[in-house]
Structure 1
Amino acid sequence: SALATGEGHANRHISMSPQGVAYPSLSDYFHDKGLSVGVLTLGNVVDATPTAFYGHSVERDNADELTRYLLDGRLDLLCGSGIREFTRRSDGVDLVGELKKQYNFVRSVGEINAAAGKVICIDETMDDMAEESNLTLLADATRASITKLEERSDNGFFLMVEGAKIDYAGHSRTLPASVIESLSFDLAVAEALRFADQNGETLVVVTADHETGGLVLLDGNEQTGHIMGIYTTDDHTPMMLPVFAYGPGADKFCGTYMNTEIARKIKLLTE
């Protein structure tokens, strides 16, 4: 939520003040400026990171409340897993039926650009852990999302892409999973950079909300490809995080600063 809004937050709050006042996210900001907006996650669309870019709540597990914000129609694209969050509801809302009045509702990444107009893509394969057979899934979805958002607006677009399961690997303290999920995310970053090089007017910012697992690399062998890593916890850590930026305005992201500054810097570049 700090990355999405530029505001500090109480624990478990999603883009909302301690008093229950909604903080506008970058998605809100760019929608109001006439840009197309997309949220893409290689995980559940009702997890904390994607919801911070389209919803508001004082409790991150309030899935019914958070997904109702999609009815505002402020996104041009939402993509991830989690069909149960739309169909097994305690509030009695036929969310899929209501969303179909504004969105084309598709079930695979390959259908994102086959459907006209705004799209919600709930692809359950995005819930699978990365392996060789699906390693390019997030990159494929990133490429499709860029194409969709480009078509939706002549003013440009804002796209949030999350490699969600790098965090899962840290929680489970599984080094092979940490490696392959990072490789999956790296391929998605490559798609963004490739588009930025072709477009010339696109800023790419790569960072994280936190580190997970306290991973320390102790030894490795370049010839065999083996590496030794030790996790110091199965939880999040306060480790400082890098911010990588590429494209117009990238120089504004140098230095050391609070995570709330990232959204503020992005906004300043477009005022």
Structure 2
Amino acid sequence: ALPRDTPIKLKAAEAPSEWEFACTKEPLDIQLFKDIKDRIPGATVNDAMLAATSLAIKSYYESINEPIMNSQEDLRATFVVHTRPPTANIASDKWFGNDFVVSSVRYPIHEDGPSSVVAFRNRTRILKASPDAAVRYFIRDRLLSLIPNDKVCDLAVEINCKYSITVSNVFISSEKMTLAGIEIDDIKFLVFTPMGAYFGLSTYAGKVHCNLVVGKSCEANPELVVAAFSKEAKKLHKDMMKLSEKEVKYMSRAITERESAHWLGVTVLVSAITGLAAAYLFAARFFATN
């Protein structure tokens, strides 16, 4: 099994029972992230947003002298991968409700601004091309039904709590919505996570909020992290606009070459782990019934 992430601020030693949360006071315009992604060939708005969250964590850790910043370690985050078909009508009886699997990504907290966008672009590309989501979907729909529900919950907690944070990017609506005829000015999205920290972005009517929920036992300051997100996103935009096309190509090639050997190893490792996971679930079912 993969080891747990190194204990750090934002990651709880055990499931928190009390929480603190913070949200950006002023949302950012979605166009800022669109401008950033347009400077990196193949990047997405999501890559730009993830880069801003990583840079916010990096800035916060540097401000409190978090020991991980003096090492070569990164932290890992879980995120939701929707498994509905792109054309699915989410309001229909068939597709209404939750339909997702949980995947993970390594956060490049040692990368600088523009380099962070390239790193996320490369990592999300690999995840999209890999069988990771398909294997997780198969395990969820076929194998988990073979073991008792209480064991499934135990497995989910054991696996997901190895990671440092949960991250999500929730698109709520491109236009303002109404409730009982009254226009809704703003909507934020927050969840609790047993690992200690939820780092969520929510987009509503062209505006992006950063929302952070942290267990009190983490002894972290969510207000500082959220403030760092806004600051780092604006700085990232400014830095990206300064880069020439030649500089972007050189940076992209250098990071891709540096990470290629690492990701080859990760791909092999993921394939091996998913195979072992399937065997483990069958074994768990066997011992649970005998």
How high is the TM-score relative to the length of structure 2? Answer: 0.27
Larger RCO, structure (CA 8 Å, separation 6 or more): 2
More helix by percentage? 2
